[in-house]
Each structure stands twice: as C-alpha cells, then as structure tokens.
Amino acid sequence: MLFKRYVSEGLAHYSYLIADQGQAAVIDPRRDIDVYLADAAEDQAHITLVFETHRNEDYLIGSCEIEAATGAKVFHADKQWDYQYGTPVDDGQEWMVGRLKLKAIHTPGHTPGSMSYLLHDPDGNPWVLFSGDALFSGDAGRVDLLGEDRLHEMAELLYDSIFNKILPLGDSVLLCPAHGAGSVCGAKIAERTWSTIGMERKYNPIYQVQSLQAFIERHAKMLDRPPYFRMMEKLNLEGAPVLGNLPILKPLSPKEFKELVSEAQIVDTRDMIGFGAAHIGGSLSILERILPNYAGWFLNYDQPILFVCDPDSVDGVVRTMLRLGFDDLVGYLGAGMLGWGLAGFPIESIPLVFIDAFCELMRSGSDKYLLDVRGKNEMSNGGLTHAEHIHLPELLEHLDDIPKTITVYPLCRSGSRSMLAASLLKREGWDNLAVLAGGLGAWNAYGCEFDL
C-alpha cells in the first residue's frame, strides 16, 4: 500500500497518490505528472482514478494529462458547472482502490460543488480526509471566488461544511488539504505540514468562532484575486491542453535572445542582487521562489515568455509556468547575463542600497518616497512610519500615486518583492529607483535607532 503527498513549491499545492494491490488514484494532480507515473510504476500500480476536489482557480489541474497517459477515469466536483471532460461526483459516492475505500463528501463553500474524499485504511476505518480547499491547516478556503454577491451564501455553505460535515468525522482523522502554508488559497495556512481534524478543532482560529454570524464576520471577505485565476477557471472546465512531454526550454544565444526581446515578456528569476546589478531592459525580476505567486499577477497569456535564469533552475521554472498554464515558453538566455555582457549588449541596473547607507539616508531627511509593497497581514511585523503602502499586486493600479522626481524605495520583508516592484516601475518609465538589500528584515536586524 502506498500513500504519498506531493508538494508543488510556491503554489504550496498538495496532491496525493494512493495505491493498493496494483491500482492507484491521484487526488488533485498537477500538470507535470511524471512524479505520479514514476511512483505508481515503482509500486507496480496503474493509475485508474483521478479525483478533483473542486474546479481549481490557482493552478491548472493535471487530470486530463493523466487520463491521456494512463486511461484513468477522471472524477470532478462542481457538477453543476459545464465540464468538457470527466465525470461528475455525487455526494456519498464510493470507490475502491485495492482494499482502500474512498467516499465523496459534499463540502461546498469554496466552490458550490466542492467535494472532500474520505479515505479508509485497509481495515476499513476512516483514516484520511482529502479536504481540498474546504479546510486547511490553520485556515479555511476562501469564499469570495463567485463574487461579492454570493459571499455570504458561500460562507454559510462553508460553515456548514466544516462544522457539520468535517468536524463530526472526529479528532483522530488525518487532514490532507489541497494547500499548505504559502498558498494564496488561504490567508494564514499554518506550517503544520501534517494535521488532524482534532488539531484543527483546537488550534485553527476558524474553529474558534462561536456562531455562524461570527464565522461570516471573520471569514466572508473579498481577497486578492490574481488576473490569471480567470484563465485557470476557464481551462479547468475545458480541460487543460495535454502536454505529452515536458517541453524543452531552449537555450538561446545572446543574439537569438535579443531578436526576440521586443515581442516577448522577459522574466528574470535570479536573485535581487544579481538583477539589481545587471539586467536586460524591460525584464521583470521574479525570484524563482516567488515565481509561482507572482507570474499570474504580472504576466499575460498573449505574449511569449523569455527567461533569464540559472541553467540549474530551468526545470523548476518550466514546471511552475506549466502549472499556471503559461505554455508559450520560448527559451532562456543560455549564456546568462555574463554572456549578454560579453556580447556587448546593453545592460541596465537598479541600485542596491545597503542597510548602513539606508539608515543614514533615513536620518538625513532627504527627499525620498518609501513604498511598502507588503500585504496588510504583514504590517504587524513592523515597518517604516513614513512609508506609503501599496500592496504589490495592486501596484499597477496605483501608478499615479508614485512620484517620478524623487527616488522611490520599494520595501518588503527581504527585498525580493521590492525588486519586482522596482522592475515593474522601471518598465513603466520610472528611473529613480533603489532597493534596500535585505529589506525590512535588515532594518529590523540592524537596529537603526530611527523610526519603526
């Protein structure tokens, strides 16, 4: 018997493979399915079933990919929606994977048809709840996806799901949600990578509310909604295009790359230090680690994409992009920025400011614009009194508020999002930019007596 979890870093997406006696099933597969195929094969099992907990909005689900590779039957939730693949699931429906029983439990709220699946152990005891985006470790799924009009309705549904359907399963059942800490699908998912319904009952703030009313007040909120969600929602109904193989990201010579620059989006995944020091004009700085979180905010599906990245990170970058449905990946700068420079092509930079100089600058009272791009929930960690706050995802909508004549200092925890903000502003025409190396973390750690 096999029971295994797969973490898609960045998206903090969890998928699961279970196998017994030669049969296997995947819950909420991602689109790069090689891992499931390899592990099932090693366990001498064939994937015959795929389960979706809901129509996902934050990544492209790999159900059709597995179906194409194995002939597995795909079951999806949200049966009232118009899927172009698979079979809808009924509340209470059951399947066997070898000796393992799976039972669907309708747990709406995140979406109207969201399903959880209760896995039983080989002896038939309730064992694991695949809760999708209904219940997370430390949080519950967002209820704002159908819009403000249906916010309360969905919150009520979710309340009913997590209090009246999940909680009664008992403290001892393992909780296996579709996301872990870091996902945009929950505001405050805990770092407890494995959890139980009992731990959630005790430690999850969402379970500490005393009434439906209190739940709604706490949880019925409109959250950030990256623009790529719409594409995911569309494709997850149509069925994601089948890839067959993971595509090859082509290494491009500086000359080849340069010829493509004008019509493409350029993503530079190197760290803020390298990007700040030297980058190609017009490129966006999106550190590989935050690429899953920001690609969907700042890239479009209409233009091809070029990458400046470490050759070792090509595989990870490609997987991230495919998971978000960005399939038009043209290539990467094979020789890196060193090769670009060696070819005599123009290089641009955004100054890094180190913490001691920055501290001096703060004391000096010189003209500057401090732009804090962190989210609201991070503000409690401290910040600079005089900073303006524009949450990074909303930056492009607030360009008018940002001066061009004095130096703009984007700020965040470590500097990575600051550099992304700076690269966005630069692309939009700002020249006067600088980034604090180490961000507010450095500020805090350095102990500048000023402010804060």
- Window 142 to 171, contacts with a copy of itself (CB under 8 A): 170-171
* Binding of residue 41 to a copy of itself (CB under 8 A): yes
Residues 6+ apart with CB under 8 A from 350: 275, 276, 279, 419, 422, 423, 426, 433, 434, 435
Question: By CB under 8 A, what part of segment 62-91 binds a copy of itself?
Answer: 69-70
Q: How far apart are CA 28 and CA 13, in angstroms?
A: 9
- φ and ψ at residue 117, rounded to 5 degrees: -125, 125
Task: Give the number of residues in contact with a copy of itself, rule: CB under 8 A.
Answer: 86
Q: Are 365 and 377 in contact (CB under 8 A)?
A: no
The H or E element containing residue 197 is helix 197-203
Tell the smallest beta-carbon distance from residue 84 to a copy of itself (Å): 22
Question: By CB under 8 A, what part of segment 275-294 binds a copy of itself?
Answer: 276-278
- In the complex with a copy of itself, the residue whose CB is nearer, 106 or 279, is 279
Choices 101-109, 196-204, 258-266, 371-379 (CB under 8 A): range interacting with a copy of itself = 196-204
**Of 29, 274, 325, 393, the one binding a copy of itself by CB under 8 A:** 274
Question: By CB under 8 A, what part of segment 406-435 binds a copy of itself?
Answer: 413-416
Question: By CB under 8 A, what part of segment 329-388 binds a copy of itself?
Answer: 331, 334-338, 340-347, 349, 352, 354-356
Question: By CB under 8 A, what part of segment 232-261 binds a copy of itself?
Answer: 244-245, 248, 250-253
* Binding of residue 439 to a copy of itself (CB under 8 A): yes
The first and second tokens of residue 218, run together, are 């706490």
Buried b (16+ CB within 10 A) or exposed e, 139-164: bbbbbbbeeeeebeebbbbbbbbbbe
Tell the smallest beta-carbon distance from residue 10 to a copy of itself (Å): 16
The first and second tokens of residue 237, run together, are 């109904």
Tell the smallest beta-carbon distance from residue 253 to a copy of itself (Å): 5
Q: Give burial (CB, 10 Å; 0-12/13-18/19+) of 278.
A: middle
- In the complex with a copy of itself, the residue whose CB is nearer, 11 or 309, is 309
Tell the smallest beta-carbon distance from residue 408 to a copy of itself (Å): 19
Dihedral sign computed on CA atoms, order 109, 111, 112, 113: negative
**Of 199, 267, 309, 424, the one binding a copy of itself by CB under 8 A:** 199
Distances (CA, A) of 396 to 26, 360, 401, 408, 428: 39, 30, 10, 15, 9
> x/- binding map, residues 97-126, to a copy of itself, per CB under 8 A?
------------------------xxx-x-
Choices 223-231, 292-300, 305-313, 376-384 (CB under 8 A): range interacting with a copy of itself = 305-313
